[in-house]
Amino acid sequence: MKKLDFLYSKRREEIFNFYENHKPVDVDNIDEINDHIVDDCFSEENFENPLEEFYITCAMCAYMAKNDLYDEYFFESFDELLEEYNEGKFDEYFFDVNADKPSLKSDIDEICEYILKDKDKADYYDALSSVYESEINKDE
């Protein structure tokens, strides 16, 4: 698999624009819109490598966190991918690791805080909590 040829910020902007162009985005249609993004816009089977899947999932969850929306499937995927990201499994795929890691960290923090503030929101609260806590401790 090859490195990506774009930054997280570019993919994030594309996804946020997609949501903004398909308003209203709300609890009644978030699942449908998310499925459309992954199936039709970015064609999941055509992902260049696992980092691209993480970019898309992270950006989608960041949008949902900012707008108090929730799609369990994507937050569970985020949890699984975050663990692999923290283990360094995607490091070889970054286009520019120094540009991407800070913007990813900002979104990761926001997503985790969103999920962890409401323990009832996720059955996987304990798993996410431990993954997120290990990320915080790694940065100190």
Residue-wise pLDDT tens digits, 74-86: 888 898 999 999 9
* DSSP structural state of residue 42: S
* CB 18 within 8 Å of CB 37: yes
Q: Which of 84 and 48 is assigned the larger pLDDT?
A: 84
Separation of alpha carbons 50 and 6, rounded Å? 14
Separation of alpha carbons 64 and 78, rounded Å? 12
Q: Which residues contact 11 (CB under 8 A, 6 or more apart)?
A: 52, 55, 56, 59
Separation of alpha carbons 114 and 130, rounded Å? 15
* DSSP structural state of residue 28: T
* CB 131 within 8 Å of CB 81: no
Q: What is the pLDDT of residue 22?
A: 85
Q: What is the pLDDT of residue 140?
A: 46
Average pLDDT over residues 28-34: 90
Chain-wide mean pLDDT for the chain? 83
User: What Å distances lie between residue 51 and 5, 29, 55, 59, 116, CA to CA?
Assistant: 11, 27, 6, 12, 24
